[in-house]
Amino acid sequence: MKPRITVIGSLNMDMVIQIDSFPLPGQTVLGGNLDYIPGGKGANQAVAAARLKGDVALIGKVGTDAFGQVLLDNLLKNGVDVSAVKRENVSSGVALITVTPSGENQIVVSPGANSLVNADFVQEHENTIRSAQVLLLQLETPLAAVKRAVELAKEAGVLVILNPAPAQALPESLLNQVDVLTPNETELSILSGVPVQNMVEVYTASRILLEKGTKCVVTTLGDKGAFLCSPNINVLIPGYSVKAIDTTAAGDSFTAALAVAVAQGKPLPKAVKFANKVGALTVTKKGAQPSLPLLDEVEKYPFKEGSA
């Protein structure tokens, strides 16, 4: 049986320009061609999980514009159930992304229809949440919707994975219902309220979140891997050496892979190791959803541990 995963989150059209270096304030730089690529953290994670053989449903909203139809068509093409994606008479979400030759990116998001995903809309799709093994969420939709979704999931015994991006402070009443939190170092610092610049500080910040009630914190560390922190396990799971082309969807693919592996019953260290592989393979290609690997690609790739 395929692992059943419900994703609640954003759908955006990514507008991507390749640049040599990020502009300084007030500076104009010339870039390459403009590419339109389906994205949004919710859609990225749904597609990533589906390509890893998950049975995936997405709850979210798009506009009635041309972008909205493209976003829906792309989800369907990838095998994602979009029966809980509603079209609203507004603009679809858009992300403006610049990417340097080293694969670093800067992103500005205009939420559009994503901002209309509220608690009542989530409640309408209660059955889609309750029937899942894992509920996967991010923070590109209103927090009230995230809170209600988590409440419904916990009532039904569904495991909750929260990717806290874009970063913002979260109430303890939400953190203490999260089974697995997947921040990067910046997000970990904002959530914990302490600096995160080395492994000791990663551990300290993770323990603060455990004290707030989160069951497990998995902090992504780029090519260094991920740090797994729970009441019984504190371990760095090494990353894999690859040539980074574009890091845009690495966090999304990592979190989706973790959700698939956990839903399959893998213990957390093995689930994180699998997620590291998927995240590493993602950065070897351009674009958000086009870079998300198929399970067959992950299984056949000759991974080597260690930073590139």
* Residue in 55, 179, 252, 296 annotated catalytic: 252
Mean pLDDT, the chain, rounded, equals 95
pLDDT band at 308 (very low <50, low <70, confident <90, very high): very low
65 is in an annotated binding site: no
Let me know if 252 is a catalytic residue.
Answer: yes
Q: What angle do CA 213, 217, 222 make, to 5 degrees?
A: 160
Distance CA 160, CA 180 (A): 6
Type of residue at 63: G
Is 250 part of any known ligand binding site? no
Overall average pLDDT of the 95-122 stretch: 93
End-to-end CA distance of the chain: give it in Å, rounded.
36
Question: For the chain, what are the domain ranges?
Answer: 4-22+33-300
> What token pair was written down for 218?
């998995």
306 has binding-site annotation? no
Q: How much of the chain exceeds pLDDT 70, in percent? A: 99
Predicted local confidence at residue 306, as pLDDT? 66
| Strand ranges in 30-175 using DSSP code E only, listed in sequence order | 34-39, 55-63, 81-88, 93-99, 105-110, 134-137, 159-162
- What is the CATH number assigned to the segment(s) 4-22+33-300? 3.40.1190.20
The amino acid sitting at 117 is: V
Q: Is 285 annotated as a binding residue?
A: yes
The model's confidence at residue 107, banded by pLDDT at 50, 70 and 90, is confident
Q: In what order do the strands lie in the sheet with 105-110?
A: 34-39, 12-18, 93-99, 105-110
